Structure 1
Amino acid sequence: MSRYEIRVKGHLDPHRCAWLGDLELVRHSDGTSTLTGLVADQAELYGLLTRLRDMGATLLLIRDLGAPDRFGG
């Protein structure tokens, strides 16, 4: 399990983002949105990217933030 940050162009609709699971959504003043959260494996990551594509989102960044520490951080 690893924590990922995914940034896309545009402001995502919070209601549609429920389709993406338990990722935290932040909408930035520069007109982008960031989704951050735990992803179990590459299959889940590819599924998230497919859903974002299906929503018409333009991918700007994918960053692996690493595994969370065992104390939840």
Structure 2
Amino acid sequence: MNTPELYEIRIAGHLSGTWRTRFEGLCMRLDPGGETVLSGTLDQAALHGVLVRIRDLGLKLVSVNRIRPTDVRHPGASSSEV
């Protein structure tokens, strides 16, 4: 089964807004803890494509988490939009 699901991908460091084009289709926010958080609905192929892009750009992957609808935080609750 390859149903798209919501994922949260954390990258070490704060990426500037110019990186947004590299991750088109994903929301990008800066976490106060010093990480960039990418989130969006992805199927398995798209998820692997994002992970390959992160690797190819030399970025440090911190975590990848599948988010259940009950886990979704309200935008801006404790983060800054890029």
Give the TM-score, by structure 1 length: 0.78
Instruction: Find the residue that maps to 1:33 and give its secondary structure.
Output: strand
Paired-residue identity, %: 33
1:39-58, aligned counterparts within 5 Å?
A: 39=42, 41-58=43-60
Q: CA deviation at 1:47?
A: 0.4
- Structure 1: how far apart are the matches of 2:51 and 2:12? 14
Query: What is the alpha-carbon distance in structure 1 between the residues aligned to residue 10 and residue 30 of structure 2?
Result: 10
Query: What CA distance in whole angstroms lies between the structure 2 residues aligned with 1:13 and 1:46?
Result: 23
Q: Match for 1:34 among 33, 37, 43? A: 37
Cα RMSD after superposing both structures: 1.5
Distance in 2 between the 1:49 and 1:56 partners? 11
TM-score, with length taken from structure 2: 0.71
Q: Which residues of structure 1 form unaligned runs of 5+? A: 68-73
| Number of equivalences | 66
Unaligned 5+ runs, structure 2: 70-82
